[in-house]
Amino acid sequence: MKVKDDDEIRKIFKETEYESSVAIRDNEFEGLKILSKYSNNVVCSAEHDQIWSIYLDNAVKGGITVEECVKLRKMGWFEDCDSFSTFV
């Protein structure tokens, strides 16, 4: 099912916990592969040990699914500055 707006992504991320059993090697890369379906520029910014990917609204407009958001969160991704983000 497709996510309807940014707030739904935030709610999914708030209600879904990181799961070390789901987290695999290269969670950053696996997350970027998911997000690359919704943008050609998936690494928008990087600083020290964190990367920021696409804006939530771009993913919503592209049709990101609830299942993809749950998977991202379980792999350690979170929302920061209206973007998908993760520590590396």
Residue 70 pLDDT grade (very low, low, confident, very high; cuts 50, 70, 90): very high
Domain range enclosing 59:
6-87
Q: Please indicate, yes or no, if residue 80 is contained in any of the structural domains.
A: yes
Domains: count for the chain: 1
48: in domain: yes
- Cα–Cα distance between 5 and 76 in angstroms, integer? 21
> Is 46 within a domain?
yes
How would residue 23 be classed by pLDDT, with cut points 50, 70 and 90?
low
Ordered alpha helix ranges (H), the chain = 6-15, 27-35, 56-62, 66-74
What does pLDDT average to over the chain? Answer: 93
Which two structure tokens, joined as six digits, stand for 83?
Answer: 């973007």
Contact status, residue 3 vs residue 64, Cβ threshold 8 Å: yes
Predicted model pTM: 0.92
Asked whether 9 and 72 are in contact (CB, 8 A), the reply is: no
**Is 1 part of a structural domain of the chain?**
no
SS3 86: strand
